[in-house]
Structure 1
């Protein structure tokens, strides 16, 4: 991308784009449309050789750090659109050359993440190998808002493992807590439950050691998710209630409302799974109303899916299909969450609604 090339140089895009056009005219670059350019593999190798021969290590390291910073702040901008109410980790400020991204909707942010995810992983690998460690753990953590809906589970696991190692090398318990929590959710998505539990216990201990109650509550909630996935519904409920109590105990001005709404939704799901229909409906409807009032389509779509499942379990096929169609409309109108969309379509197909969706 032209903007990434500008970050490497520490210049504005308007300065770098004419140079890219000259290289394209000389057939040294291929313009792939928009702001995207491609360098032939052999030319890339030659350019790397010349850079190593003609520039010093410090110059190359500074360029890599600028590129990493560009990706970090673009990923954060995407996350603010994908999960606008979720708590953020602090980031170092970008350089004066940095220009904010052009995407302005959640769907555009999702497309940017999908188009760049292999490059982002390359940046994380490079930072994990040559530094800075701070970038190697922050970038995967910032990308949680994309990764938790992404089908690229192996990439998600690799990025999280690199983040854990980098934060550990730096002695950053806050960063390692987030990285291990993210690694646990990646392992859970891959069905590796024993490893998931081990990472969650380590993450919880790290957050507790630094008195980070929000981080600890997140991990307790993810312990609840782990129990849900393994069928331990009673224990899951206890974890979700514990996380909710910890979050509500925080001072009102810094209370994490997004995490509270996630816990309330999950308590509703747990009630549904153990057959407490009235309680499930109460929690899920209250959560749905709150997601809508805060304009949170990601959680709205998830909750509509669970309400559809709730009605299906009660043998109310018409209400179930209606909620599932609403979930599909929300998903298609925002990020297109591929994992959730597949689950909704499968549920509609079970109800004989496949052709109508």
Structure 2
């Protein structure tokens, strides 16, 4: 098991992660880690959270390279990535994000326990703990040529990153994922990652760059006849125009998005587009129209349980 610690690409780790890496039971790994802690080879920094000194990690990695085949090391990395993908997916589905989810079809479910989350806050707390490890893992899968795994991480984690100020690590992960999706010919993933790039740029106030990404995502979705995706892109483009106060353009894109969403009976997203259109009319000084749309949107959000968007619409009503 000590050799497996050298293969772990992150900094801190739990027993479940190492169990996935070396294909042992979590109980066996936990006992082994306790022994390594007692021998001062591994440091326990928190409950079920460990780290190993850089020199010892290098020694463990050298042993793994000398004693384990390349195929075995690659399998270990795949097993670790499978566990983190399922954990990240559980986290993403517990957040308040309304972006589309991708199923993990074709990705083996790990035998080790995967965390579950019942609340948005718990999901983000897990991500806070694991974000650096995930970034390192995606770099490792990319270097190993594991394209199917590489693009899945940013596609899943965009549900989480919408609640954070995006940095260079996230943008590098998106870039790696987009290249991997392109190599695999997965246009749906590519479109979703173009959208994620656009959102990251808008969060960083790089509006022109963000607008270009969203337009590319919309065009790709149009070629796939992905109407729901097109509606999300139109809404995203409208948000960029709203941020830079091109209000006519914003309203036009929100209306186009809403028309598609209502035809698809996408209730949650119809409420989102309505709320954005209400906000646009508020900025235009069209207060009566803004109030009417905000009331409709707030009712939809209340019905669908979208509390954050409902609060936003109620704020619009208060100002209008």
| TM beyond 0.5 | yes
Aligned residue number for residue 205 of structure 1 = 219
Q: What is the 5 A alignment of 1:19-38?
A: 19-38=32-51
- 2:201 is equivalent to residue 187 of structure 1: yes
Distance 1:41 1:118 in 2: 16
Compute the displacement of 1:110 (Å). Answer: 1.0
SS of match in other structure, 1:211: coil
Q: What is the 5 A alignment of 1:154-165?
A: 154-165=168-179
Compute the displacement of 1:83 (Å). Answer: 2.4
Aligned residue number for residue 235 of structure 2 = 221
CA gap 1:257/1:9 in 2 versus in 1, 3 angstroms: farther
CA RMSD of aligned residues (A): 2.0
Q: 1:288 aligns with which of 298, 303, 307?
A: 298
Q: What is the 5 A alignment of 1:232-311?
A: 232-250=246-264, 255-304=265-314, 306-307=315-316, 311=318
Deviation >4 Å, runs of 4+: none
CA gap 1:226/1:32 in 2 versus in 1, 3 angstroms: same
Aligned residue number for residue 67 of structure 1 = 80
Distance 1:52 1:299 in 2: 51
Aligned residue number for residue 69 of structure 2 = 56
CA gap 1:158/1:111 in 2 versus in 1, 3 angstroms: same
- Contact kept in structure 1, 2:194 and 2:216, CA below 8 Å: yes
Aligned residue number for residue 120 of structure 2 = 106
SS of match in other structure, 2:41: coil
- Contact kept in structure 2, 1:86 and 1:259, CA below 8 Å: no
CA gap 1:40/1:200 in 2 versus in 1, 3 angstroms: same
Output one character per residue of 1:146-203: Cα deviation in whole Å (capped at 9) or x when no partner: 1011024333222222221111122211111111111111111112222222222221
Compute the displacement of 1:104 (Å). Answer: 2.7
- Contact kept in structure 1, 2:268 and 2:300, CA below 8 Å: no
User: Structure 2 stretches of 5 or more lacking a match?
Assistant: 1-13
SS of match in other structure, 1:143: helix
Aligned residue number for residue 3 of structure 2 = none
CA gap 1:84/1:190 in 2 versus in 1, 3 angstroms: closer
Compute the displacement of 1:261 (Å). Answer: 2.1
- Contact kept in structure 2, 1:84 and 1:296, CA below 8 Å: no
- Contact kept in structure 1, 2:86 and 2:109, CA below 8 Å: no
Count of residue pairs the alignment pairs up: 306
CA gap 1:292/1:129 in 2 versus in 1, 3 angstroms: same
SS of match in other structure, 2:125: helix
Distance 1:119 1:198 in 2: 31
Aligned residue number for residue 148 of structure 1 = 162
Compute the displacement of 1:302 (Å). Answer: 4.0
Compute the displacement of 1:290 (Å). Answer: 2.8
Q: 1:130 aligns with which of 144, 166, 176?
A: 144
Give the TM-score, by structure 2 length. Answer: 0.88
User: Structure 1 stretches of 5 or more lacking a match?
Assistant: 315-357
SS of match in other structure, 2:305: coil
CA gap 1:47/1:84 in 2 versus in 1, 3 angstroms: same
SS of match in other structure, 2:127: helix
- 2:253 is equivalent to residue 231 of structure 1: no
Distance 2:283 2:304 in 1: 27
CA gap 1:2/1:298 in 2 versus in 1, 3 angstroms: farther
Output one character per residue of 1:41-73: Cα deviation in whole Å (capped at 9) or x when no partner: 111121122111211121111111121121211
Aligned residue number for residue 109 of structure 2 = 95
CA gap 1:132/1:145 in 2 versus in 1, 3 angstroms: same
CA gap 1:45/1:301 in 2 versus in 1, 3 angstroms: farther
Give the TM-score, by structure 1 length. Answer: 0.80
